[in-house]
Amino acid sequence: MRETKPPQRIVQQSLALDTYLSTLLDEIPETVEVEEKRKPVAKPADKPLEAPVQRLIVEQPLLRPLQNELVALEKPAKSQPLSIMPEWAQHEFQALFFKVEHLILATPLTELSRTIKIDRKPGKIPGQPSWFMGLLDENDSRIGVLDTGQLLFGKLRGSQRDLETNPFKSILITRDKRWGLACDEILSIGKLMPDKVRWRTSRQRKPWLIGTVIEELTAIIDLQELVPHRKRKT
Amino acid sequence: MSEDRKQSDPIMQWVTFCLGDEKYGINVMQVQEVLRITEIAPVPGAPSYVLGIINLRGNVVTVIDTRNRFGLPSKEPDDAARVVIIETEKHIIGILVDSVAEVVEMRASEIETAPNVGNEESSKYIQGVTSRDNKLLILVDLNRFLSEDEKAELDMF
């Protein structure tokens, strides 16, 4: 009789989530650009749940960090660092789920004023970075429209998108109505409980990535950290 | 209109021109004349933003490639293209634009500071933005259109 392997399970779920999101969001290093073109990065939209988790278990390089984590687990887990969390993240909140390329993201409704369909091109201002798509007049507000793909994935990967042939469809407008985040699709609104979210304990790198909805592997974005701060000319 | 408002919120006139999909405005007081496209003689070794020079009634005027300056793709000038002769603090230069639109009036209070999210240097010639006919109008500060080094370079032509 053939011996069947026991089902694989995630040893350290939080590490798995962090690694999964890091894989999705990391800017592609120039040295692997050619390879990446041949074999695109994981497509969460096709197989959002199973593929990355399985890879975490079977790939050799990740075994060592997982073992280290197991040793660390003997100590009581430190509570979440609420001091670095925005106020909205400390209790149940409603979030808007949206899509940028193949990545599903969420951000609290309280950080948004409204969403609009893109029906005209933003006015491009010379001399601005490529992730700044331009200004859009909308209901007496002048909104700076941002290429969310470039902000999330970095210039190298984000700017590979041809916005003429593959334009963004919608814009999320921030609470202060100063910024608009271009996205591909607005999905839904849902309630999120803080205990269903794996919150990041350090936000030194990618401070806008505040946590992950555990069940859906959805990145929660802190818009205040993602949008630039307009500099006033002297 | 009260004298107070005239002083605190003056009306300014702007010559508007088009480049690609965008409309720009420059202070009418700095515009000397608008020319149809004429023969522009290239200058060997000139920087990429210099198209060349023209003879304007005996004076040599350097013509700037405004598309290049604004980071837009180059375009072969057509019948609508114009060279706008402008006067900056010390220089008279020509700027090649896709077309000249109109002269508009607006109050200073209608002008909003343009967001500067990137390199300060690269967009310092953008004076502000406003809306005209539901379209963005980008106002250009001609005195900052060229840096001091670039102005000095023009003196060599």
Longest CA span, chain B: 55
Mutating which of A124, A131, A150, A176 best tests the B interface, going by the most B Cβ atoms within 10 A? A124
Give the list of residues 6+ apart from residue A186 with CB closer than 8 angstroms, or none. A96, A97, A98, A99, A115, A170, A172
Q: Quote the pLDDT of residue A79.
A: 44
> Does residue B79 have a pLDDT over 60?
yes
Contact residues, chain A, for B117 at CB < 8 Å: 128-129, 132, 144, 228, 230-231
Q: Identify the H or E element spanning A21.
A: helix A13-25
From edge to edge, which strands make up the β-sheet containing A209-213? A185-192, A93-100, A103-108, A218-221, A209-213, A197-199
Strand partners, B45: none
Taking an 8 Å cut-off on Cβ atoms, the answer to whether B126 and A125 are in contact is yes
CA A122 from chain centre, in angstroms, equals 24
Summarize pLDDT for A36-68 with one digit per residue, the tens. Answer: 444 444 444 444 434 343 333 333 333 344 344
B22 contacts chain A (CB < 8 A): yes
> Does residue B155 have a pLDDT over 90?
no
**Complex-level ipTM beyond the 0.90 threshold:** no
Contact residues, chain A, for B126 at CB < 8 Å: 125-127
Q: What is the pTM of this model?
A: 0.71
Contact residues, chain A, for B120 at CB < 8 Å: 231, 233
A124 contacts chain B (CB < 8 A): yes
Summarize pLDDT for A67-118 with one digit per residue, the tens. Answer: 444 334 444 344 455 556 788 888 899 999 999 998 999 999 999 999 999 9
What does the alpha-carbon distance between residue B142 and residue B138 come to, in Å, rounded to a whole number? Answer: 12
Summarize pLDDT for B106-135 with one digit per residue, the tens. Answer: 999 999 888 767 665 667 889 999 988 888
CB-CB contact of B85 with B94 (8 Å): yes
Amino acid found at A59: E
Distance from CA of A153 to the nearest CA of B (A): 18
**CB nearest to A129's CB, from B21, B117, B124:** B117
Summarize pLDDT for A209-234 with one digit per residue, the tens. Answer: 888 988 888 999 999 889 987 554 43
Amino acid found at A162: D
Q: In a 3-state reduction of DSSP, which class is residue B54?
A: strand
Query: Which residue of chain B is at minimal alpha-carbon distance from A143?
Result: B115
